[in-house]
Amino acid sequence: MGMTHLEFLYGTRIFGCKTCNAHFSTTEDMMSRAFNGQYGRAYLFAKVVNVRQGEPNDRPMTTGLHTVRDIFCIKCNTQVGWKYDKAYDEAQKYKEGKFILEREMIKTVD
């Protein structure tokens, strides 16, 4: 496959991996701050880069059953959140294809 560069983003504020500074997303792509993750507060993003997706599995969440995949930083391999593949509740459909990043796993990066 060869060497690839990590993706770097344009944005007013860039969120990246707390461990290795890899860019994940920007304030422009942030949809909501009102989520909770494994480690507390989490954010919903429309788009996230530099992550590897795990296998899909069904998880019961506070808002109902979802099919989700864990996402990992492609540089340091830390698990940083998850991606919604499918929401079974009609009201939750807006989350499909979107990403959760746990606030505890990210920081503002340059």
Partner 1 sequence: MTTQIFPELAESARPAIRRRRALSVTSTYPSADKPVKRRRIDTSNHPNLEASSLHSNQHPLSGIADAAEAMRLTQAGEASEPQGTQSSSSSDVGNGAAAGATTGTYTSPSAFIASMDDPLVNVKNGHVKALSNGSTNGSLTNGSLSPRIETLAEPYARHAKAVARVFPPGTTLYPDSMTDREEFVRLLLQTLKDVGYLETANVLEQESGYSYETAHVAAFRNAVMNGKWDLVENGLVVLGVRDDDSLRAARFMISQQKYLEYLEANKRAEALLTLRQEIAPLDIEQGRLHNLSRQVTSSLVLGLCSSAPSLIMASGPEELRRQAHWDGSNGSSRQRLLSHLQQLVPSSAMVPSRRLDTLLQQAREHQIQMCNYHIGSQTHSLYHDHSCSRKQFPSMNTHILEGHRDEVWQLQWSHRGDKLASSSKDSTVIIWKIARIEATRELDCTLQHVLRDHSFHINAISWSPDDSYLLSSAEHEIKLWHAETGACLKTINQQHSQTVNGLCWLADSSGFVTGGMDRRIIQWDIKGNFVLQWPQLDIRILELAITPNGRRLVAIGQLAQPISISNEHTPSAHSLATTLQASAGVHAPTVSGNENRTSVDIERRIVVYDLETRQEIWWQSVWGELQSVKISEDSRFALINHQQGDVALWDLVEERLIQRYVGRPRGMCVVRSCFGGIDGGLILSGSEDGHVYVWNRRTGTLFEMLSGHEPGGVNSVDWCPGESALFASCGDDGTIRLWGPEPELTADSNMVEQPGPIVHDASERETQNGKQLVGGLRTNDGYLLGASPSRMKEASTR
Q: Which does 17 bind (CB under 5 to 8 A by kind): Zn ion, partner 1, none?
A: Zn ion
Contact between 60 and partner 1 by CB under 8 A: the answer reads: no
Per CB under 8 A, the list member of 19, 28, 54, 92 interacting with partner 1 is 28
In the complex, what is the shortest distance from the CB of residue 68 to Zn ion, in angstroms, rounded to a whole number? 20
The interface with Zn ion within residues 19-38 (CB under 5 A) comprises 19-20, 22
**How many residues of this chain bind partner 1 (CB under 8 A)?**
17
Give the whole-angstrom CA distance, residue 59 versus residue 66.
Answer: 5
Element spanning 55, H or E: strand 51-61
Element spanning 92, H or E: none
Contact between 9 and partner 1 by CB under 8 A: the answer reads: yes
Burial class (CB in 10 A: 0-12, 13-18, 19+), 95: buried
Element spanning 91, H or E: none
Catalog residues that contact partner 1 under the rule CB under 8 A.
1-10, 20-21, 28, 47, 75, 109-110
